[in-house]
Structure 1
């Protein structure tokens, strides 16, 4: 007598084939996006704080650049720690803690009595917020159906220009009204706490639960998703807990370097390409966020006008996100990156060589804001899809770390090189680095459009 064959459909395939429903996967997208918005707000705020620090404490421009360096290096450490924690203890738990840490040290920064205390608080706040991007992208990507995953992950970056523009607009408004930068930090505390409160109800990723051997919990999450989306019920098996032998104990830093070794052992070409793309493309964007207010002020714009121009650059990025979301599945990740990333670097060079007419330079800056926000969301989508589930959060986290390191050290080096090499030549160096990273991608990394996550 023959027996019925066991179901071949896996829990991963069920989740990735569900219909997309705004009250279900869309809710996770919105909650995760709010955290991403605060990441953008915090990074862009450095551009407003640098000239404020120069004025308040009478320090030099390279000294003031240490403020951005401290914040971004804190985010680099946070991306390592939180990406690894998310791969070890779950997306949900890590998802809930990042903003709480950020809030505590942002409050400390608003009360800082000296530049050193401000820089230290920005570093510690960065450790908390640095985990948002790798954790958010891993969680949202694992809940999102395959057929819309590229568009959803690309659309996630729409939160970034909103947060960056808010940082400049709010800073300009508070500066005009009160004459102090401290409220620009303090104002972020209440909404950050609100997002932390809302995040408590996010479910754990069923892909993560399956990989950890927590079959009953994974099945419960999948069944709730099937019911909530109205999808037909089908028999399935929970994906095998293939990673039990890889689980680590010990502190997060040790585990982080265990994961780093795993990345280079199991996916060396992917890791090299991911680090190169993150380190160069995000360097170009962070240079603009951190230094454009100061550059435009030096070119003759007033302090408020320079901040508003930075806000315009960030807000123009919404157009780029829409373009990326429309094209990412049709054109593919690699083609969009190869076209948009070098173009963004070239536009910064054009900004530099047209500064004799500051208003004309602002026009090029707005175009830059559109083009760079085609590159960045596609980059995040692409790298989050390159890695398998057990390396996704940590792989993305380490790549994000490389961007924070380059963006932390880059503006400091830029502040030194700018007076020596000139603004245009300094931006041209960044363009050359982007071009090299894109060429490596085309030679070494595959296209991921339409592929199942594994």
Structure 2
């Protein structure tokens, strides 16, 4: 009897249970599913879109630069242009560019949608070149104020378009990181303006150099945008689907372009049903939160 029991126990140990077999099958299927999911959800290369993003952030760099460019040289500017001690004039020289930025920002959406993102960047660079040149060459307060005001229109247009452009050309998994580049570029612009303004007390007229140097990155922005990709989102909205797919291939790779276009078509169909007019913000159920 004991031998029979021992034989049965040995047989039990050697025979795999149905539960164990099922668990092995589940684990095998789970591994296979993970491998398939890994292939399907692989991210496109971030290196393709990075140069385009860096060019776009030049506009944010210039925004920071022009905010800080008058901090160090303000006393020298006031002495050379004859308004030393006039606090109102000094305050206007510092802040009038923000007035221009207000109007530039108001127009940024219409310009970006009307002529495209690349042309909008080039248009933002133009007043920054013209206005900075006027400020660098002027011999009176009026010329300085006009130059700063013109620069401000470009400052309002450029960073607003940059935020839109970076979002539209970046792969989803690095979109937040690339978006942070805009803020970082602004900080670098402020630091750069303060650094360049250091010799202003030792070198007479150095403030003109501070303004003149800002035309270089503005010109680089305008020229480099010729070689950058246009926003595929804007091209698709214009009905230029083939061109949008080509730009997606430049930014994400050939394997990701078809999928990106299909996602755009889904979003576009959703936008058609959820369109909200400006008037609805003041009237109707959208106005309840105001």
Bigger Rg over Cα: 2
1: CA distance between counterparts of 2:141 and 2:260? 60
Q: Residues 178 and 52 of structure 1: is their aligned pair in 2 closer, same or farther, counting only changes over 3 Å?
A: closer
1:210 alignment counterpart: 236
**SS of corresponding position for 1:178:** coil
**SS of corresponding position for 1:19:** coil
Question: Which piece of structure 1 moves more, 92-101 or 112-121?
Answer: 92-101
Gaps of at least 5 residues in structure 2 are 1-40
Deviation at 1:181, TM superposition (A): 1.7
Aligned residues: 244
Correspondence for 2:128 among 72, 97, 102? 102
Q: Residues 121 and 236 of structure 1: is their aligned pair in 2 closer, same or farther, counting only changes over 3 Å?
A: closer
Gaps of at least 5 residues in structure 1 are 1-15, 248-258, 273-454
Correspondence for 1:80 among 78, 82, 106? 106
2: CA distance between counterparts of 1:235 and 1:71? 39
Deviation at 1:45, TM superposition (A): 1.1
2: CA distance between counterparts of 1:53 and 1:143? 41
1:169 alignment counterpart: 195
Deviation at 1:30, TM superposition (A): 1.0
1:30 alignment counterpart: 54
1: CA distance between counterparts of 2:283 and 2:70? 36
2: CA distance between counterparts of 1:235 and 1:169? 43
Decide whether the 8 Å contact of 1:98 with 1:132 is kept in 2. Answer: yes
2: CA distance between counterparts of 1:167 and 1:218? 38
Deviation at 1:120, TM superposition (A): 0.9
- Would you say 1:117 and 2:143 are equivalent positions? yes
Q: Residues 64 and 31 of structure 1: is their aligned pair in 2 closer, same or farther, counting only changes over 3 Å?
A: same
RMSD of the TM alignment (CA)? 3.5
- Would you say 1:21 and 2:46 are equivalent positions? yes
Decide whether the 8 Å contact of 1:38 with 1:163 is kept in 2. Answer: yes
1: CA distance between counterparts of 2:249 and 2:282? 36
TM-score using structure 1 length: 0.47
**SS of corresponding position for 2:44:** coil
- Would you say 1:181 and 2:207 are equivalent positions? yes
Decide whether the 8 Å contact of 2:44 with 2:253 is kept in 1. Answer: no
2:69 alignment counterpart: 45
Deviation at 1:142, TM superposition (A): 1.1
Q: Residues 130 and 60 of structure 1: is their aligned pair in 2 closer, same or farther, counting only changes over 3 Å?
A: same
